Structures are given as structure tokens and as C-alpha cells.
Amino acid sequence: MKVDLLIENFIFHCKYEKNLTEKTIKAYSSDFQQLKEFKNFFELDISQVDKVLLKEYIRYLYSFNLKPKSIKRKVAVLKAFFNYLEFEEIIEINPFRKMRISIKEDNNLPKIIEMKNIKKLLRYVYCSKNNFASKESFSYKSIIRDIAVLELLFSTGLRVSEVSNLKITDIDLFSGYIKVMGKGNKERTIHVCEQESKNILKEYFSLFKSDIENKKYFFINRLGRRFSEQSITLMIRKYQNKAKVNQHLTPHMFRHSFATMLLEEGVDIRYIQGMLGHASISTTQIYTHINNKKQKKILSSKHPRRNLSFS
């Protein structure tokens, strides 16, 4: 059978049998597009694909100067494809079984937002809100929405895609209870506990109620559509500049900051794992390595050597 037909069947399997998210399906399709450009791969019969050709493809990926993480993802998608072929008995032996692939990722520690910058950002947006004379304009409504998004990112550690895709049915505004559909369609719950954060979410809902109930998405843009991940990113950049925050901010940095600050407060890492929706504790453990200032403070104030004097 031709590779292109088998890939089409695999995408169908991922979408309708494994129920993978639309975002994941789109990423798979993008990765296969790069494979298509390699030696007319899609035109080959599957029997022509062996480990020699696959190794050649991996070398081909390195020629684009891609990040190791991107190469690792593309290889993982290809592995999943061949696992599917083997399981469906389309091929007898998965060629990846005879390959040893080790792609070392750069050990880039997650960047967090300094607490002074979070305060500066929130102070600016709340002051801007309070300076509005009229609460009827869309400008006022939009800043309420923007504050609600910022509060949610900081108080829950949600991914920007999770915030953007929240439905009205996912949120209980009175209890602060939020149901989240994370990666791999894994559901988790998290609570907004600060009263000021809950108040801004309630005010936002009251201003956008008709659009929200019509479109079902909780966060809405000027056109009454879903407030997208890109729009949230641009919104944060806008307030970063207006508040004169001297640090480049992204939505994901709120998530990193959420995890790091909870860890610094002594919260068990397994609770943080659950709140972030990490499948593996090893993913969460990266936050144990990122704050050298905190480490210095702990060692200087808690280490027993400070009580020993020999002079």
C-alpha cells in the first residue's frame, strides 16, 4: 500500500478512534507535510520503507536547524504511525524496533515573571479600569475581560489554550470551580479562590452574558467570537508595554510562575502536578531547579552551619 493512503487512515484513526484534539491532529498533519517533501516519501509503497530510509529522514530533519524538541516530536509522530501499522498488521515488523534513537533536548529552564512585574501589570490594569467614567463602552468591557484573563492565568496556571477554549458550562462563577479539558482530552478541576479574582470573572460575565450564552465560549472578542490564544498573547504584550514592565511576558510564563510560587510556599509537588495537568511528575520537577535566589535565601537562613562559630 502507498504511504499517503496509510497516513490518511492513520489520521482518521487518531481523530475518530483515539479522539485526539483538533490541535493535535493539526500538529500531526503539519509534521507529515515535512515527511511528504522528503524523497517523494508519500509515493512509496510501505514495503520500501526501512530503518535506513528512516535514519536518512532524521538526518534530513537536522539539516533544517530545528530545535531538538521539534525533531523529537516529529520522530514521535512517525513512531506512532508505524506502531499503528504494526498493530493493524499492515506491516510485520516496525522498523523503529531495530533503531536506537536518542535526541537530547536542551535543558532550558522555564522563565517566570518576577513578582514585582506581576504586581506592576495588575496594578496598571486595575487602575485603568477604575479611571473609566462610563461602563457602557466596549473599551471598558474589554479591559474587564482582559483583567479576567490575566487573573485566571495567574491564579490557576492554566495553559493559554485551556483559557481560550473554556466554555460557560465549565465554570461555576459562585464557587470558583473550573473544569478544564487539558492535553490528551484529560479532564481536571481547579478552583479560583481569591475573592477579587472571582469578582472580576462575575463582572465580566455580566457584561458579555448574551454573547457568551450565544457562542458558548467563556472569553469573547469584539466580534462575539472566541478570544483566541494569539489575541491573549497580544493583549499581554500590550499591557506589558503600557505598564512599562521591563520583562518580555508570555501567557505560558504565568503558568511557570504559578507553579514556582506554589513550590516556594511549600506546596507538595504532586498537588502542583495535578493542578497543572501534567501526566508525569518528571515534567513538574523542572520547577524544583529554577529559582536560585530562593535557594540562596533558604541556605543562608536555614542551614545549621549559620549557628556554628569557631572564632
Residue of 36, 72, 183, 202 with catalytic role: 183
Q: Tell me the three cell numbers of residue 98.
A: 531495530
Residue of 120, 141, 159, 215 with catalytic role: 159
Residue of 141, 145, 255, 256 with catalytic role: 255
- For residue 78, which phi and psi values (nearest 5 degrees)? -65, -40
Residue of 13, 73, 79, 252 with catalytic role: 252
Residue of 74, 120, 226, 278 with catalytic role: 278
Spatial contact of 186 and 277, defined as CB atoms under 8 Å apart: yes
Task: Kindly list the distances between the CA atom of residue 26 and the CA atoms of 20, 22, 77, 108, in Å, as whole numbers in the listed order.
Answer: 10, 6, 12, 26
Alpha carbon of residue 220 to chain centroid: 20
- The question of whether 255 is a catalytic residue gets the answer yes
- The question of whether 159 is a catalytic residue gets the answer yes
Spatial contact of 216 and 168, defined as CB atoms under 8 Å apart: yes
- The question of whether 297 is a catalytic residue gets the answer no
Residue 32's contacts (CB-CB under 8 Å, 6 or more residues apart) are 7, 11, 77
- The question of whether 183 is a catalytic residue gets the answer yes
Please give the angle made by the CA atoms of 49, 53 and 58, to the nearest 5 degrees.
125
Residue type, 191: H
- For residue 38, which phi and psi values (nearest 5 degrees)? -95, 110
- The question of whether 16 is a catalytic residue gets the answer no
Helix locations, the chain, DSSP H: 3-12, 22-36, 51-62, 68-87, 115-130, 138-156, 160-164, 195-215, 229-242, 251-264, 269-276, 281-284, 292-302
- The question of whether 287 is a catalytic residue gets the answer yes
Best CA proximity match to 93, nearest among 123, 49, 155:
49
Residues marked active site are found at 159, 183, 252, 255, 278, 287
